[in-house]
Amino acid sequence: MIYIGIGSNLSGPDKETPLQNCYNAIEKLKKEVNIDDISSWYESEPVPVSSQPWFINGIIKISTNKSPLDLLEFLLKIEENFGRVRKKKNEARIIDLDIIDYNRKIIYDRKKLIIPHSKMHLRSFVLLPLRDLSPNWEHPITKKKINELIDNLDNKQKIKKI
């Protein structure tokens, strides 16, 4: 199973809400991958905490014949088409697409791709929607079940289901 994190905290070019941006990105994804399931949506405070707008986040479960690197290139192309420009880390964005898990593979190519996502186990906005889709998910490296990862989260992360 392949899980993609999706998030937005800026309006789109035609005044789309962050949630609309997420749905529009899913429509773009559908052109080349199968969307198998979509989690609930969550509104979450930026991590690290900043004055930027809160994010809308979710997880989508997909299936594809694309390799992990080809999938990453496809996701980056979608982000680019939405107008995302990467200037600095953790900045506000129209759309953010991250490979969270790719068939339980462990990939570490620091310059290109890290799977599972290197900070996913620390982020409530990843773990809560992932649990919606896969309540028995286990981290491929730590072997911790998703509920244990959620129980170990820093409770300072503000998040609410919408």
Given CA atoms 32, 38, 41, 42 in this order, what sign does their dihedral have? negative
The DSSP symbol for 121 reads G
Q: Which pLDDT tens digit goes with each residue over 106-153?
A: 999 877 899 998 889 999 999 999 999 999 999 999 999 999 999 999
Instruction: Return the CATH superfamily for domain 2-161.
Output: 7,8-Dihydro-6-hydroxymethylpterin-pyrophosphokinase HPPK (3.30.70.560)
Confidence of residue 90 (pLDDT cuts 50, 70, 90): low
Question: Could you tell me the pLDDT band of residue 69, with boundaries at 50, 70 and 90?
Answer: very high
Domain ranges within the chain, ordered by starting residue: 2-161
Task: Dump pLDDT digits (tens) for 122-135.
Answer: 999 999 999 999 99
Residue 68 pLDDT greater than 70, yes or no: yes
Let me know: does 57 contact 7? Beta carbons within 8 Å.
Answer: yes
Report the alpha-carbon distance of residue 125 to residue 99 in Å, rounded: 14
